[in-house]
Amino acid sequence: MSTPIRIRRALVSVSDKSNLDRLAKMLVDCKVEVLSTGGTYRALSELGVAVEKVSDYTGAPEILGGRVKTLHPRIHGGILAAPTAEHDAERERHDIPAIDLVVVNLYPFREVVADPGCDLARAVENIDIGGPTMVRAAAKNAARVAVIVDPADYERVAAALVEHDGAVPQSLRRELARKAFAHTAAYDAAIASYLAGQAQDEPGESGADAAPPVFFTGGARQGTLRYGENPHQEAGLYEVIGEAGEAPGLPRAIVHQGKALSYNNLLDADAALAIIRDLQPMGLAAAVFKHASPCGAAVGRPGDSLAEVYRRAREADAESAFGGIVSLSTEVDAATAELLAETFIEVVIAPGYAAAARELLARKKNLRVLELPGMFASGPSPWRVRSVAGGVLVQREDVMHVGAAKARVATKRAPTPEELADLEIAWRVAKHVRSNAIVLAKDGVTVGIGGGQTSRVEASRQAAGRAGKLAQGAVLASDGFFPFRDGVDAAVAAGVRAVIQPGGSMRDEEVIAAADEHGIAMLLTGERHFRH
């Protein structure tokens, strides 16, 4: 039906009471009869709305501790009645007035389960039943009923009521209905995902870390992007609610300034965020990314400032750093901001910024400055999702369990303490380089990175070529085992003095023997970190 239907009666029940004053003004101005429950009833009354309790309207009290409030034929008949003569007559026979507007948002289930202290009983009590039922009923009947699930839409609906003499036009009703179904779908997915995570406590279940038999993904759009990987592709950013205690991702970042973030900016920033999370436990750290690959990374030595650490990371490959993405492990100070402003970079992300740093960076108007409080929070590793034709691949985030300090010394010579520290940096960085990946490090900074090669020995040559003379005395990390000794031979020829790798090749003994022959140290982690 295309004829606008005037809003005469509304049912309002909201957990999120933001902008409620604007909704109240709209209801009063349009002389809408209002039904409500509980806290929403009290809040609307305090805002001057003449509101009737649902229990008085239905003649049925709230029961079961509030679990049943709106599940009543007088409510759902009023919402679901189609705009037909037959339904109008039936409503009249049963004394069911029409409800033309439903304003409902749901119990804060996702927020509650995000609390590390939440248990299953508390989670279950925050599963909304009446709310989704009303939302779905109203959205199904968008031919007559308008439904609002987002407080940000109050202004739009209020403007429509003024423009259309107290009615919501069909086009807006349909748009609101689509949004409502997306809202309830995401809500149910969050519940299903949470309950899947509780499977570890159930006999016969595979456990929370196993890939679930059904995987849900979805979230609220944080905004449309200028374009995707290329200008002709449309794209958007959506926030997916993670598990309780999970460290925040980029959708939670505060964007202080700069041009709108692009699809590629976000991919690179996500990669830069991941590497700084791995390096931060070692001390002050900085990393520069370009095209989803690290250009340079550095960890501070005793007495180093953040500015010095960033400078070393940038100079590791200054040419590639141009137009890159920078991640930093601590609050950015003025000295670091001055260095950031020296080079053209697209994005900088850090846990905070001093006021003086913000002022300096503001001069670079196109630079996107992202702040992510709590970016180093510990918690469960998130699920990572990638698409393939006709489906999706899902896996847990790659977590490093074995570092250089825990690796097995396989050679006659053990690494020196200085080599061990550099091996740790190289190993952590290699985890973020496209496989086959080789990383050379020296004195706390990467000096050569080779990645994305079909041959590991070629990746070794690439890393050594980038390092040049700096390869002398450097250490090497490989994300996978060496299938032949030629990779070790190439590394030693470049000047490498110690190697860390997973091991596990059929020719491990041959590779270790080559290391002993050259007098270098080799560590085996027993854990690989491919990145495809």
Q: Which residues are catalytic?
A: 140, 291
Query: Is there a contact between 488 and 510 (Cβ–Cβ < 8 Å)?
Result: no
Query: Is there a contact between 20 and 51 (Cβ–Cβ < 8 Å)?
Result: no
**Residue 257 bridge partners (DSSP):** 369
Query: Is there a contact between 522 and 411 (Cβ–Cβ < 8 Å)?
Result: yes
**Other C-beta atoms within 10 Å of 529: how many?**
23
252: its two tokens: 């939670």
Cα 52 to Cα 135, 147, 238, 372, distances in angstroms: 20, 19, 38, 44
Phi/psi at 28 (5° precision) = -70, -45
**Other C-beta atoms within 10 Å of 227: how many?**
14
- The string of DSSP letters for 330-351 reads S-B-HHHHHHHTTS-EEEEEES
Q: CA-CA distance, 271 to 327, in Å (whole number)?
A: 9
The DSSP letter of residue 300 is P
**Other C-beta atoms within 10 Å of 493: how many?**
13
User: What residue type is 466 in one-letter code?
Assistant: R
Query: Is there a contact between 144 and 13 (Cβ–Cβ < 8 Å)?
Result: no
Cα 161 to Cα 10, 31, 90, 141, 156, distances in angstroms: 13, 11, 28, 19, 9
Query: Is there a contact between 157 and 98 (Cβ–Cβ < 8 Å)?
Result: no
Torsion sign, CA atoms 98, 13, 105, 130: negative
Residue entry with tokens 């309790």: 53
**Other C-beta atoms within 10 Å of 182: how many?**
16
The DSSP letter of residue 477 is E
Residues 6 or more apart whose CB falls under 8 angstroms from that of 168 comprise 4, 5, 7, 101, 146, 157, 160, 161, 176
Q: CA-CA distance, 237 to 250, in Å (whole number)?
A: 9
**Residue 239 bridge partners (DSSP):** 220
Q: CA-CA distance, 147 to 157, in Å (whole number)?
A: 10
Cα 217 to Cα 199, 203, 240, 266, distances in angstroms: 18, 26, 7, 19
